[in-house]
Amino acid sequence: MSLKSLASIENWPVPTAAAGVVRADGTVVGTHGPTDRRFPLASVTKPLAAYAVLVAYEEGAIELDEPAGPPGATVRHLLAHTSGLAFDEHRVMAPPGERRLYSNAGIEQLGDHVAKATDIPFTEYLRQAVLTPLGMTRTTLDGSPAKDAVSTVDDLLRFAAEIQAPRLLDPRTVAEAMTVQYPGTKGVLPGYGHQNPNDWGLGFEIRDSKSPHWTGTSSSPRTFGHFGQSGTFLWIDPDAGAACVALTDRAFGPWAVEAWPLFTDAVLAELR
């Protein structure tokens, strides 16, 4: 099966775009564009980092509810963006668990925490724990675990297949990662304004009933994933039994707010 809807990325106002869809059984059902081209991921880096953190948890190097980050916060708080840390500053703005403050600084502190616990630099830990086992040979992290990975559609489809049918993690751990942490927490979804609630799992944003949103109007409430300010996204819709990756070389903006939901709805319609 080849998804004709993927070709609509040709209409996006971007220099280059690539996209692909993978089923829960690992079957790539369609791709379009240069899927082997490396694109900066921006915040789509975060799910990769979160997966490595969960590997560290399953290996016994860390616990989800052990102290990490600012006083009173835990690994779970950092993964769920409820540690109280500011967006891009290592400055506390709220008590842990009180607000959903989307925080690059929190993910960076989490990377430092895992590196200290494992005695392995986080970049190397990510490579050993996730990238190499999944054959993601074109993916690298050089810098912040919140935003500095570079990857391809082909590699991210491998990652999306893993999330849907885990081999590196116990499925129960992945189920926890896609379950709302600290339900009812309010916050701002970058690019889309205040959301009440602003639901997140462990390193993954959960769609639920958010509006506006970067996924489609027909995306199930259980849809989870992440988008990046470099014009990138990865979503997994368990009800559709599929995941979609799209990477571009134009920064997120009004064009993406308009194009991405229409694209996702077209993909989902074709999958059904």
pLDDT tens across 3-28, in order? Answer: 999 999 999 999 999 999 999 999 99
Write the CA distances from 80 to 76, 112, 123, 243, integer angstroms. 6, 16, 21, 21
Report which secondary-structure segment, H or E, holds 123. helix 122-126
**The pair of three-digit structure tokens given for residue 264, joined into one six-digit string:** 């996702």
Q: Number of C-alpha atoms within 13 angstroms, CB side, residue 68?
A: 28
The CA distance from 87 to 234, in Å, is 21
pLDDT tens across 143-177, in order? Answer: 999 999 999 999 999 999 999 999 999 999 999 99
Question: Has residue 134 got a pLDDT over 60?
Answer: yes
Q: Hey, where are the domains in the chain?
A: 4-271
Question: Has residue 140 got a pLDDT over 60?
Answer: yes
The CA distance from 247 to 9, in Å, is 10
- The CATH number assigned to the domain with range 4-271 reads 3.40.710.10
The CA distance from 25 to 190, in Å, is 32
Question: Has residue 1 got a pLDDT over 70?
Answer: no
Question: Has residue 126 got a pLDDT over 70?
Answer: yes
The CA distance from 108 to 171, in Å, is 26
Question: Has residue 2 got a pLDDT over 90?
Answer: no
The CA distance from 245 to 228, in Å, is 11
**Residues above pLDDT 70, as percent of the chain:** 100
Question: Has residue 81 got a pLDDT over 80?
Answer: yes
From the number of C-beta atoms within 10 Å of its C-beta (0-12, 13-18, 19+), residue 230 rates as: buried
Burial 86-125 (b: 16+ CB within 10 A, else e): bbeeeebebebbebbbbbbbbbbbbbebbbebbebebbeb
What is the per-residue pLDDT for 166? Answer: 98
Torsion, Cα 79 82 64 146, to 10 degrees, reads 20
What's the predicted TM-score (pTM) here? 0.97
Question: Has residue 204 got a pLDDT over 60?
Answer: yes
pLDDT tens across 227-256, in order? Answer: 999 999 999 999 999 999 999 999 999 999
What is the per-residue pLDDT for 268? Answer: 98
Question: Has residue 47 got a pLDDT over 60?
Answer: yes
